[in-house]
């Protein structure tokens, strides 16, 4: 009896690992999609991945490949659908749950993403990458206290200290706890004194304290490291506005927009400056850009 049982188990194993003609053809199509992706032929890559799925509807890798590309293109609803399909084939994959969580966060479906990442952590509790992604979701969802608790766990494990302290500093900044925010960011300066993001946020802290010259010093340091740092240029424009220097404010808003800072806020601020300077036609044009960007 045991002999026959062993044979049956062996047969099941062989059947489970056998490559069907459909799977072989779908694998070829996925490889073709990968080649198209490397060449930047995104539509052709999607076509190849879709053909693979049509050929073998139970090929989870094809769904994952297409989902990754959809996410890259900002097509989050389609990406989420493909990740969910792949998850239904392998519900205990922490990797898939993590990927699904990240696309949910991008699609502003924060609670759905947090549920997925919690499941991923339950499956693989030692993986601090998942806890880090959970923190991202908590920050986006406005769950700052919970995020700070998880950040403490990451810091205890010395996980990516530069990035983790930055997230801690941003949360304190968003909570208007400027002293705690500055303390967290200074921890990063000891690791990397030329981090432009840190210098930018330190500039914002100084701006909130109305220490405008200090704010400009930090923002200039950020721009020395990264001359095309559009947010730092935009923030310099804000500082100059607060200093009643409309010409310099306008100069920096122009630079930020010229560098493709497609944020309605930048156009709004520039429109206000133009209006104050008597350039009503330019002001109206910028206000129309605010409306256009907000409806995209």
Question: Any residues with CB less than 8 A from the CB of 70 and at least 6 apart, and which?
Answer: 46, 76, 78, 79, 82
- Which residue do the tokens 């199509």 mark? 29
Question: For the domain 194-296, what is the CATH code?
Answer: 1.25.40.10
- Which residue do the tokens 């104050």 mark? 276
In the prediction, which pLDDT does 151 show?
96
What residue segments make up the domains of the chain, in order of their start?
A: 194-296
In the prediction, which pLDDT does 270 show?
67
Q: Are 23 and 56 in contact (CB under 8 A)?
A: yes
In the prediction, which pLDDT does 186 show?
94
Q: Give the DSSP H/E element, type plus range, for residue 34.
A: helix 21-38
Q: Are 275 and 295 in contact (CB under 8 A)?
A: no
Query: For residue 158, how many other CB atoms are within 10 A of its CB?
Result: 9
Under DSSP, the state recorded for 92 is: T
- Which residue do the tokens 């810091």 mark? 155
In the prediction, which pLDDT does 281 show?
65
Q: Give the DSSP H/E element, type plus range, for residue 133.
A: helix 128-140
Mean pLDDT for each 10-residue chunk of the chain (296 residues)?
Answer: 45 49 91 93 94 92 92 89 90 90 87 95 95 92 94 95 91 93 94 90 95 97 90 92 94 84 61 61 58 51
In the prediction, which pLDDT does 174 show?
87
CB-count burial class (<10 Å; 0-12, 13-18, 19+) for 39: exposed
Determine the 3-state secondary structure of 154 from DSSP. Answer: helix
**Rounded to an integer, what distance in angstroms lies between the CA atom of residue 84 and that of residue 66?**
12
């Amino acid at each position: 009896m045991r002999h026959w049982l062993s044979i049956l188990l062996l047969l099941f194993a062989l059947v489970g690992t056998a490559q069907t003609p459909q799977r072989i053809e779908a694998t070829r199509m996925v490889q073709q999609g990968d080649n198209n992706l490397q060449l930047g032929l995104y539509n052709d890559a999607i076509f190849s991945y879709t053909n693979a799925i049509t050929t073998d509807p139970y090929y989870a890798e094809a769904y994952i490949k297409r989902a990754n590309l959809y996410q890259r293109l900002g097509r989050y609803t389609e990406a989420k659908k493909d990740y969910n399909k792949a998850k239904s084939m392998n519900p205990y994959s922490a990797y898939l749950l993590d990927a699904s969580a990240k696309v949910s966060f991008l699609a502003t479906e924060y609670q759905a993403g947090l549920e997925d990442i919690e499941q991923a952590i339950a499956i693989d509790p030692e993986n601090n990458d998942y806890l880090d992604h959970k923190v991202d979701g908590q920050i986006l969802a406005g769950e700052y206290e919970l995020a700070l608790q998880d950040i403490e766990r990451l810091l205890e494990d010395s996980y990516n200290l530069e990035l983790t302290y930055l997230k801690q500093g941003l949360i304190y900044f968003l909570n208007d706890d400027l002293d705690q925010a500055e303390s967290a960011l200074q921890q990063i300066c000891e690791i990397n004194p030329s981090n432009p993001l840190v210098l930018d946020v330190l500039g914002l802290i100084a701006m909130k304290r109305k220490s405008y010259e200090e704010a400009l010093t930090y923002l200039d340091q950020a721009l020395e490291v990264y001359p095309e740092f559009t947010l730092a240029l935009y923030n310099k424009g804000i500082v100059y506005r607060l200093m009643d220097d409309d010409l310099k404010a306008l100069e920096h808003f122009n630079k930020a927009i010229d560098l493709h800072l497609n944020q309605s806020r930048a156009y709004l601020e520039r429109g206000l400056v133009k209006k104050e300077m008597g350039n009503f036609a330019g002001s109206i044009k910028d206000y129309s850009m605010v409306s256009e960007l907000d409806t995209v």
